[in-house]
Homo-oligomer: A and B are copies of this chain.
Amino acid sequence: MEAEWLDDVEMAAWLRLVAVVELLPGVLDTQMRAAAGLTHFEYQAMAMLSEAPERTLRMSGLATRTNATLPRLSHVVRRLQERGLVERFPCPEDGRVTNVRLTDAGFAEIVAAAPGHVETVRHSVFDPLTREQVAQLRDIGEAILSRIDPDGRMTVLYDPERASEGRTQAAGE
């Protein structure tokens, strides 16, 4: 089994990738909590809503976009609702479905939090990279995702062809 161990270059790449994967969420979370009192996940969820038509998505659609399980999202949305940042209402066309809409207050929060977030992303990730490396990173990410996210669940975001999946009927076309 020793036959397919990692060679030096792979090992170096792996150690760095693991370190990034471990540390980056903490960096994003810390900045977000300090600046807006939000989890990075909460921010992501609200950002998804802010870009959706009517600022509304059904729970399962939002879950897909944020790579969350439905139970997790249910808890998070409840908390956000208690803070008045989102509102929930049953879908008129399908009684099983719950739609989530970003309130004006929630939208304001996101707009206020976005610059700081982008600033952090720039500083942590893109500033130390050359333009060429940014493109390489995109391609590498694409390749890895083809393995760990074969269904392209999170790819829905940047693949317009599939963008309609999971969008609420009421808010969609």
Interface: A128 (CB within 8 A): yes
Number of interface residues of A (CB under 8 A): 58
Q: For window 1-36 of chain A, which residues contact chain B by CB distance below 8 Å?
A: 1, 4-6, 9-25, 27
Compute how far the CA of A152 lies from the CA of B146 in the bound complex, rounded to whole angstroms.
Answer: 31
The answer to whether B138 and A16 touch across the interface, beta carbons within 8 angstroms, is yes
Query: What number of copies of this chain does the assembly contain?
Result: 2
- Within 8 Å by CB of A20, from B21, B118, B123, B133, lies B21
- Who on chain B is nearest to A11 by CB? B158
Q: Are B134 and A147 in contact (CB under 8 A)?
A: no
Residues of A within 8 A of B (CB): 1, 4-6, 9-25, 27, 44, 67, 115, 118-119, 121-129, 131, 133-149, 154-155, 157-158
